[in-house]
Amino acid sequence: MSSYAVVDPATGATVQTYPTITDEALHAAIAGASETFRSWSRRTTVAERAALISRVAQLHEERQDALAAIIAREMGKPIGDALGEIGFSAAIYQYYADNAEAFLADEPITLMGGEGSAIVRKSPLGVLLGIMPWNFPYYQVARFAGPNLIIGNPVLLKHAPQCPESAAAIEQIYLDAGFPVGAYTNIYATNEQVADIIANPVVQGVSLTGSERAGAAVAEIAGRHLKKVVLELGGSDPFILLSTDDLDATVEKAAFARVDNCGQACNAAKRFIVMDHLYDEFVEKFTATLLSTKQGNPTDDGIAIGPLSSSGAAERLAAQVDAAVAAGANLVSAGERSGNFFPPGVLTGVTRDNPAFHEELFGPVAMIFKVSSEDEAIDLANDTPFGLGSYLFTTDPDQAARVADAIQAGMVYVNIVGADSPELPFGGVKRSGSGRELGRWGADEFVNKKLIRVGA
């Protein structure tokens, strides 16, 4: 029985199920992608492929209402947030369409000795596998597929089982934009089939955004078969507040950084580390702001929080919060869980031996910690298995530079939240993964950086 289904998290109703791809159809898809690499990727220019990606961007904008409605019923995203995601996805596609020729241009090397010349030429690797999550169904695909199709790497895309409708819609956009069959192929694959895809010699690399467990499993298989991997995994990003000249504004930013996408973002602020002289007032104001955040059905007007993405997600978060409280943490909550609607909450008194201390809470629940020095804040921020993003608020520019250098994470945002942009690299360290997406760095992961040395 297929696990691919649209189950509306607001109601729990199964809207539609989708059959898993057969082994025969999967083999045909891999063969088709390989043929497309030989017959299309190698015979088209970067500019020609970029023009097609520009059309993909336009189609996202033209179809934004239909696309937004799909993910509202697939994973519960409020319509306003869904439209924002689609707009951001279109911007990513257009960014790569506009900049690909510069990113992929030959790079001359100044020789230390000898005659002639040398360049590095970036060329495609071949067929890639993308394994994408449910929390940003369009955005996650855009930042992987956009640059790689311009590079000339055909894409096999395995989306999350709860996002089969958006997965099909994305594939249709690529076809309608003018990409040949085999350039971008949606596959409703099982985990066992994914292992076979990675092992297939046609496939040259895999990019996964998802859980630690999924990342470890994929990396293990890829390692056995010597395949390049890019992994964007979990995060428990710190929000460090050392000083502020406007606490109310800082609280508003902190609350947004926690509840955006119902708190279901890998790089959401999850641990709030506050200096002792600001702690009591921050806790009071932040708790009031977070708990008053408007929650409702994804199609309701003016809501900021919808349901969690699934019953499994709601049950996992509930178990984590219950375990944290049982271990001595204090919880202030906006109410009781109702199905997949999880109330915003604030945990204080989380000690290092509490199970929640080193966990990622994927939902609208925040942990707040009090510190008495800059060094203590840095130590607490880095005491995590994760290292994706981080947020730092201070009025001291020297302190900002010093602390930003000391934070063990792939990204540091100083005095700003919600500032992701197509030109900025995205990725982490430690158990948050490896590799980068977005910016020129996202167009540099799956390329053959070929040296061409010419004598006199």
Active site residues: 232, 266
Contacts of 332 (CB under 8 A, 6+ apart): 287, 291, 345, 346, 348
Which strands, in side-by-side order, build the sheet including 107-108? 107-108, 117-124, 447-454
**What amino acid occupies position 150?**
I
Q: How many CB atoms lie within 10 A of CB 280?
A: 11
CA dihedral 344, 348, 350, 355 (to 10 degrees): -20
Helix (H) or strand (E) run with residue 404 in it: helix 397-406
Torsion-angle region of 349 (φ positive above 0: left; ψ -120 to 50: alpha; else: beta): left
Q: Is 294 exposed, middle or buried (0-12, 13-18, 19+ CB in 10 A)?
A: exposed
> Where would I find the H helices in 262-364?
276-291, 311-326
Picking from 4, 2, 453, 72, the residue whose alpha carbon sits closest to that of residue 299 is 72
Q: Which residues of 299-332 are buried (b: 16+ CB within 10 A; e: fewer)?
A: eeeebbbbbbbbeebbeebeebbeebbeeebeee
Structure tokens given for 196? 């076979």
3-state secondary structure 193-224: HHHHHHHCCCEEEEEEECCHHHHHHHHHHHHH
Of 414, 377, 375, 369, the residue nearest 396 (C-alpha):
414
Give the count of beta carbons closer than 10 Å to the beta carbon of residue 44. Answer: 17
